[in-house]
Chains A and B, each alone.
Chain A
Amino acid sequence: MSKEDISRRQFLNYTLTGVGGFMAAGMLMPMVRFALDPILKEGSDQKMVAVTSIEELSNEPKRFDFKIKQKDGWYESDVTQSAWVYKAKNGDIIALSPICKHLGCTVDWNTDPSHPNQFFCPCHLGRYTKDGTNVKGTAPLAPLDVYESQVKDGKLYLGKAKPRKGA
């Protein structure tokens, strides 16, 4: 109640600690952020992109192109990516990356007349079965990457393409 509740000394102590704390935080925060930056960045890359409505999908792989934002330092660019998408027998939606695991050409579905119903890479005649497994004896040594996928409100969202173990 009285004026002596808080002494002049205490008051100065409190205010100085407060102000000093802010100053220290102001100096330390950028440093901490700087150290953690790569970790914080990772999250923003994980965004899923809407690619198509699921009604358009069938048992036959179909190619969809979509754009993702790629950050390279300060430079942000749109990169076109493609996916081969189909419904498996059990109803699962499979989205395969079209990037050949050999040297990175784009594979096509069912374009090699002598090997129907396979993914075919025109560059070095690599082949993959429908589930993306590389055919032994052809150039590629690993199966096609699989996109993380998610269905929301009847739309298919794709995330990152994840590599799988070789056959």
Chain B
Amino acid sequence: MMRWKTNDADVFLKSGEYVDSLLIPLTPLDFKQNFKSTVTMGEYTEMLCTEIERQLHGRMFLSPNFTYLKEHGPIEQLKSLIDHATASGHFKHIFLMTSDVYWKEFEHTITGQLFWVPALPLESMDEKHRHEVIKEQVKPLFQLIFNEWQRGINS
């Protein structure tokens, strides 16, 4: 596991040279009119991130959620977070995962790969099907991640 846990931090500091990728879930908050759909987005993003982290935790560090209120224009804060992560020297590859379409327009101004995956309503599905769906959804993302890593080798 490579998550925001003290034990993981120890492993990370020991084998840091191998863990060169950071995955940041971008999670919108809204306790007013879009409460439920916002929760759905966050849950979906989290499921995708968990699955990716489960399969790639030897190289991918899963960051805690980057939570924000849309009306605060969180783009600058995200940019400075990414700058901070890059400047730490730990991470060569930054991946961002979200279901919030807000970020789509900033895709090209962000250093890091943005995965925008619209949330599917999975709450009525049973555990097993849900896992199947997530696995299918994550597959193409793996390909994008591998491509990004490949580029890192070639360049």
Contacts and interface: CB of A to CB of B under 8 A. Distances in A.
B131 A105 contact: no
B interface residue count range (under 10 / 10 to 19 / 20 to 34 / 35 or more): 10 to 19
Given A65-B131, A122-B149, A124-B18, A105 B142 contact: no
A103 B57 contact: yes
13 contacts: A65-B131, A102-B58, A103-B15, A103-B18, A103-B19, A104-B1, A104-B58, A105-B58, A106-B56, A121-B58, A122-B142, A123-B59, A124-B58
Contacts, number: 37
B56 A123 contact: yes
Interface in A88-123: 100, 102-106, 121-123
Q: Which 7 A-B pairs have the closest CB atoms?
A: A103-B58, A105-B58, A123-B59, A106-B55, A123-B58, A104-B58, A105-B56
A interface residue count range (under 10 / 10 to 19 / 20 to 34 / 35 or more): 10 to 19
Interface of B: 1, 15, 18-19, 54-60, 127, 131, 142, 146, 149
B131 A122 contact: no
Q: Which of B1, B15, B19, B54 is the most central at the interface, judged by chain A CB atoms within 10 Å of its CB?
A: B54
